[in-house]
Amino acid sequence: MSRASGTSTAPPPESTEGESPLARVALRFTAFTERWLPDAFGFVLVGTLVVLVLGLVTGEKLFAAPKDPVTATQGFGLIDAWGKGFWSLIVFTLEMAMIIIGGYAVATSRPVARLIVWLATVPSTPRKAIAFVAAVAMLTSYLNWAFSLVFTAILAREIARVLPRVDYRALGAMAFIGLGTVWAQGLSGSAALQVASAASSPPPVQDVVKAGGFPSGVIPLSDTIFTWQAIAATVVVFVVAVGLAWMLAPSPERSRTAEDMGITLRPLLGRGSTIDEAGDDDAPKRPGDWLENSPVFTLIIAAIAVLYLVRHFRAGSNPIAALDLDTVNMVLIITALLLHWRPRRLVAAVREGAPAASGVLLQFPFYGGIFGMIVYTGLSQRIAGWLVQASDQFFFPPLIAIYSCILGVFVPSGGSKWVIEAPYVLDAANQLDVHSGWMVVVYDLGEASANLLQPFWMLPTLAVLGLKARDIMGYTFAMFLVCFPVVLVLVTLLAPHVTS
C-alpha cells in the first residue's frame, strides 16, 4: 500500500464539525500528542533522568558499591546501579524480540493470507466491519499480541479494499485495539509469563514473590491470567470494547476511506497481490538449493519440536505453569516454519519482520538501567512504603491500575515496565495482604489501557496500513475514556483479598 497525491473531498482529520463531544476531545488530544510528546525512545531517556533525580531527592547516593558487587543486590549508588542493571534484561530482550518476529512470520504466511481474504468477506456493512475488526483484534491478541498487530492490520486493509465507504482510520484503530485491552491477560502477556519463569524473572523479583507466599519464586499462570477473576474481567472488557467500536463507527457521509486519504490498496492474493501467490519460481537452480526449498527438513524439525513440547507439558504437575515466554516463542517459530512450508520462505519472512523488533533491541537495555536504579538501591523499598501509606487492601488494586496506566504512557512496554516496578508493587501488596497473582492481573489491565494513549506499539499496525498515529489516536482515546473506568471497577470488585 502507498500514499498517493490527490485531492480529498472528505473533511480533514482535524475538523470537529458535526462530531460528538467525545470525538472532539479525541481529535484535540491527538493534535496535542503529535505536537508535544517525544517518540518512544525519548520516553525511556526522560524516564532515566526522572528516576535518577527522584533517587537523589529521596536521599540515595550517586556513587556507592557493596563489597561484592557481582552477587549483591543492594547497597549500590544510582550510577553503579544503572550500570549493573543495563544488561540485566538481556534474556528478556531476546524473548520479546522473538515474539515480535515470530508473530510477524506467522501472520504473513500464505495459508494465513487465505484466511484473511475469507474473513474480509464476513462483515457486510461499514459499522459491522469496524466492530468485527475490533473483535478479531482482541481475540488474536489474547493468543499472541505480536501476531495480532500484523494479522489484524492486514485484515483491516483487505476489508477496506473490498467494502465501500468504510472509515479507514476507524479500521486502523480497531486493528490495534487488542493491545489496549486484553492482550496482557492472554497467552503472550509478558508480565504473567515472566513471573511464571525463573529464567525470565530477575532474582530481586523472585525474592519478593517468595515473600508473598510462592516458595519457588515464580507465580504460575493458574494464579494470574487463568484465575476466574481474570477471565471474567477479560470477557467484560471484550464486550464493552466491541460495543463501543460499533457506536464509534462514523456514518458513511463522515467516513474517510483509504482512497480519500491517498492510500492505494493492493489485493492480498492473486494478480498484483502483496503476497505473490503464483510466485513459485522456487525450483532449485543448483544442488545446494534443494535444502532451502524442500519441506522434508521442515517436517523433521517440526516433529522434533512437537515431541519436545508434549514431553515439556507433561513433565510437571501443572501444564499451564509450563507455558512461559520460551515455550510461546518455540510454538510461534515452529508454526511459522510449517505455514511457510519451505525454509527459504520462513527466512524471508523473518528478514522482513526483524525491523519491527528494533525498538525493543534499542530500548530494553535502558529499561534495564532504570530497573537497576530502582532495585539495586533503596528506592524500591521507599516507593513501596509510599504505596502502602497511600492505600489500603480494598483500594490498592485500582490505585496500582491507575499508577500502571500513567507510567505506561512513558514506558510503553508491559514486560520491561513490570520488571522495573515488580519489586515494590509486590512488596506493597505483601504488606497489605493482597494476592500477588491478582496484582499481576491488575497491573496488566492498567498497563494495557496506557497503549491507547501512546503510539509505540501502534507502529507495526501503522506500517502495514500506511497510516500515521494522528490518524487513529482519536478513536483509541475515545476507547480509553470508556474502557479504563470499566477496568477500575473490575479490579476493585473482583479483587480476591486473600493471602498468597
Q: Which of 500, 499, 487 is nearest to 229 (CA)?
A: 487
> Lowest-confidence range among 15-19, 225-229, 331-335?
15-19
What is the Cα–Cα distance from 321 to 101, expressed in whole angstroms? 24
Sorting pLDDT into bands at 50, 70 and 90, what band is 13?
very low
Domain membership of residue 284 (yes or no) is: no
Q: Please indicate whether residue 121 or residue 420 has the higher confidence score (pLDDT).
A: 121
- How many structural domains are present in the chain? 1
In this predicted structure, what is the pLDDT of residue 354? Answer: 87
Domain membership of residue 9 (yes or no) is: no
Domain membership of residue 164 (yes or no) is: yes
In tens, the pLDDT along 354-369 reads: 887 888 888 889 988 9
In this predicted structure, what is the pLDDT of residue 460? Answer: 82
What is the Cα–Cα distance from 226 to 205, expressed in whole angstroms? 21
Position 249 pLDDT exceeds 70? yes
What is the Cα–Cα distance from 364 to 230, expressed in whole angstroms? 28
What is the Cα–Cα distance from 65 to 54, expressed in whole angstroms? 19
Domain membership of residue 336 (yes or no) is: yes
Domain membership of residue 1 (yes or no) is: no
In tens, the pLDDT along 126-178 reads: 889 999 999 999 999 998 887 888 899 989 999 999 998 898 999 999 999 99
Measured in degrees and rounded to the nearest 5, phi and psi for residue 185 equal -90, 0
The mean pLDDT of the chain is 83
What is the Cα–Cα distance from 368 to 128, expressed in whole angstroms? 43
Check: CB of residue 137 under 8 Å from CB of residue 148.
Answer: yes
CA 197, 198, 201, 204 dihedral sign is: positive
pTM: 0.78
Q: Half-sphere exposure of 374 toward its Cβ, with a 13 Å CA cutoff?
A: 27
In this predicted structure, what is the pLDDT of residue 20? Answer: 59
Domain membership of residue 4 (yes or no) is: no
Q: Please indicate whether residue 30 or residue 86 has the higher confidence score (pLDDT).
A: 86
Domain membership of residue 360 (yes or no) is: yes
In this predicted structure, what is the pLDDT of residue 24? Answer: 61
What is the Cα–Cα distance from 384 to 387, expressed in whole angstroms? 5
Q: Which of 48, 84, 47 is nearest to 63 (CA)?
A: 84
Q: Which domain holds residue 306?
A: 18-277+289-493
3-state SS, residue 189:
coil
264 membership: H or E segment, kind and range:
strand 263-264
In this predicted structure, what is the pLDDT of residue 14? Answer: 47
Sorting pLDDT into bands at 50, 70 and 90, what band is 278?
very low
Position 371 pLDDT exceeds 80? yes
Check: CB of residue 446 under 8 Å from CB of residue 439.
Answer: no
Domain membership of residue 456 (yes or no) is: yes
